[in-house]
A and B are shown apart, each in its own frame.
Chain A
Amino acid sequence: MKDSIIQTIDVSKVYGMGDAQVTALDGVSLQIDENEFVAIMGPSGSGKSTMMNILGCLDRPTDGRYILAGDDVSDLNKTELAIIRNKRIGFVFQSYNLLPRTNALENVMLPLQYSRNGHMTENEQKGKALQVLDAVGLADRVYHQPQELSGGQAQRVAIARALVNDPVILLADEPTGNLDTKSGEEIMQLLKKLHAQGSTIVMVTHEDEIASYAQRVIRFLDGRVETDVLNGEEKLVQAEGGTS
């Protein structure tokens, strides 16, 4: 039996007040298990970005529960959410989001520096970061500044940074959106390899080709899950109970 990494129960997100209220998520229930590779798709305004923000603990649901690796994180305060992001979640963004004027190694070390427990010495942090950079194939670029790296290399640094704290889940938001086809393919191969090594990955994309790397595709529409397809087979979405 695989453990459930992500479980959302009837999660809603409402922005604004009164007449200006916008419902971005309307009672979404999802379950994502360990070592799944999931693509989330949908047109803009469908709620997929809001879903990613909540899954990434950058935002809290207005209603419903979010259970991440067995813990209910729906009502945590800002500091507690920061700790969860640091320890359990790795982010990969479309625009890499590396710190400027900070070399690849220091960028990768950043999550370790914000870690609250398991005090690593500076050298241990460096060792860990170098190990992860090596794993993404950038052992020869560790002292390069972000502006000296190609898009593909920058995204690899970002992936290394996301992995350095051994998160339970890797969240990738359009990871190939800023890359040419070849670099994009390389990044997808890297994600595929990480998945093969046991990582759980949730990825937002609007390209079918990119989504095809995933085992499971969830389509959002108007704040709800429209379809949830596993290995190319249609699977019915249950209104309340999530997947089973």
Chain B
Amino acid sequence: MRPSKVAQIAWKGLVSNKLRSLLTMLGVIIGVSAVIIMISISAGTEAAIEEQITGLGSNLIFVQANFSRGGFGPGSGQGQTGGLVYDDAFAIAEEVNGVSGVVVEQQSSETIKSGNATIDGVSILGSTPDFPSVRDMEIANGRYFNQAEVDRNQKVAVLGSSLAEELFGDEIPIGQVVTVGNTKLTVIGVFEEKGLVGEVDYDSRLYMPITVVFQKFTPSQFARIMGDRVRMIYVEVAEDAESLDDVILQTELLLAKRHDVSLDEPDFVVTTQQDIIQTQEATTEAFRNLLAWVAAVSLLVGGIGIMNIMMVSVTERTREIGIRQSVGASPSDVRWQFLTEALLLSLIGGLIGVAVGIGGSWLFGELGGMRTLVVPTSILLAFSSAAAVGIFFGFYPANKAAQLDPIEALRHE
């Protein structure tokens, strides 16, 4: 019998039992859409994180205090090897070759007033003059603060683009005064729009010299313990630097000397963007493996559903099989008919699953606030797994039908 005819008969068999066919497909639909949705969520998360990391600026190395080793505060018994201090940043800038910028940051959250406008919970970022270059941010109006202003705790502020618009509208606010907490600062610059990087909105922030943050906005308790300690130093590697590894080594040697620790037991950790991406990849890979198992299990359940209903179908249609055999259907004709039916069930289920998966990913993105990214290969993977499930689980019932004895089959009521 021609394959097209076989498909036509199988289709007719499915259509004559619409509800049952749909329920049978449900397992495959859920399995396939789950694969697509979950892969799209994991790909979306991955993309967001990657964007965030690259959005930090290119060619960055990160120097962090090593909490497990260094220990903070007076009670740690580690003497002066207490992590990173503000001056470490300047030492790196001056003494390490191949460094084009160094930034330290200190964050806070404050209420800002200007004229009639009052905004609560604005993110305050204290930093150093290299910040715009290290973070790839452009000044739209005015300028960023310089080292002299940082050194003298000058009360100046640079506004993110959306914050500037909220406070001053279309007016260029250079020279205006904003009140942050109880401190008055003079606006000296406004950033170009940068947009969201990962989850961080750079445009709604207020930027000021880190020394001002240390002085005015760090909670007193925290300040007493921390002093001028910083959690992280961002080091931008110059384009003409010999190599990243060289800069890392110089930095490590310098800090070890300054902190009087050996490189075997440092109180700081130097990482690169590459390291962070790799860590991230390991995490998402573990997540993806978990998803693969979930998908495999749901497709297995879907396959068992197909097998179950095909067994029922073979029993129900035993007489039909007998009739077909009596007019010349060979075992392989019968086998193909039922195999095609199982395949059709799983393929249609797969198609619906793909549609539900794409729609579901979109919904998760729109309503769930999750970043999702539908990966084309995931559609291919899900769809071909569904087909494989159909063939695998359809084979046993189809074979059973093919082996039926024509006389018995014709006698079946």
Contact = CB atoms under 8 A, between A and B. Distances in A.
Contact of A79 (B324, B330, B406): B330
B326 interface: yes
Contacts, number: 61
Contact of A82 (B323, B330, B407): B330
B16 interface: yes
A91 B327 contact: yes
B331 A110 contact: no
Interface in B285-329: 319-320, 322-329
A237 interface: no
Contact of A83 (B1, B322, B330): B330
Contact of B325 (A53, A82, A101, A115): A82
A110 B407 contact: no
Nearest to B333: A114
B328 A115 contact: yes
Q: Which 7 A-B pairs have the closest CB atoms?
A: A86-B328, A82-B330, A114-B328, A111-B327, A79-B330, A58-B406, A97-B323
Interface of B: 1-2, 5, 12, 16, 319-320, 322-333, 406-407, 410
A215 interface: no
Interface of A: 53, 56, 58-59, 78-79, 82-83, 85-87, 91, 93, 97-101, 110-111, 113-115, 161, 165
Contacts of B332: 79
16 contacts: A78-B330, A82-B325, A82-B330, A82-B331, A85-B325, A85-B326, A85-B328, A86-B327, A86-B328, A87-B328, A91-B327, A97-B323, A110-B327, A113-B2, A113-B5, A114-B328
A11 to B, nearest CB: 16
A82 B410 contact: no
A142 to B, nearest CB: 18
A43 B319 CA distance: 25
A23 B326 CA distance: 24
Nearest to B13: A101
A98 B333 CA distance: 18
Nearest to A84: B328
Nearest to B409: A58
B12 to A, nearest CB: 7
Contacts of A86: 327-328
Contacts of B16: 101
A114 B406 contact: no
Contacts of A53: 407
Contacts of B333: 82, 114
Contacts of A99: 320, 323-324
Contacts of B410: 58, 93, 97
B238 to A, nearest CB: 76
B329 A114 contact: yes
Contacts of B322: 97
A33 B327 CA distance: 23
Nearest to A162: B327
Contacts of B327: 85-86, 91, 110-111, 114, 161
Given A79-B331, A93-B410, A114 B324 contact: yes
A34 B312 CA distance: 44
A161 B333 CA distance: 19
Contacts of A101: 12, 16
Contacts of B329: 82, 114
Contacts of A97: 319, 322-323, 326, 410
A114 B5 CA distance: 10
Nearest to B12: A101
Contacts of B406: 58
Contacts of A161: 327
A78 B402 CA distance: 10
B356 to A, nearest CB: 30
Contacts of A98: 323
A113 B8 CA distance: 12
A56 to B, nearest CB: 8
Residue with the highest number of chain A CB atoms closer than 10 Å, among B2, B319, B327: B327
A71 to B, nearest CB: 16
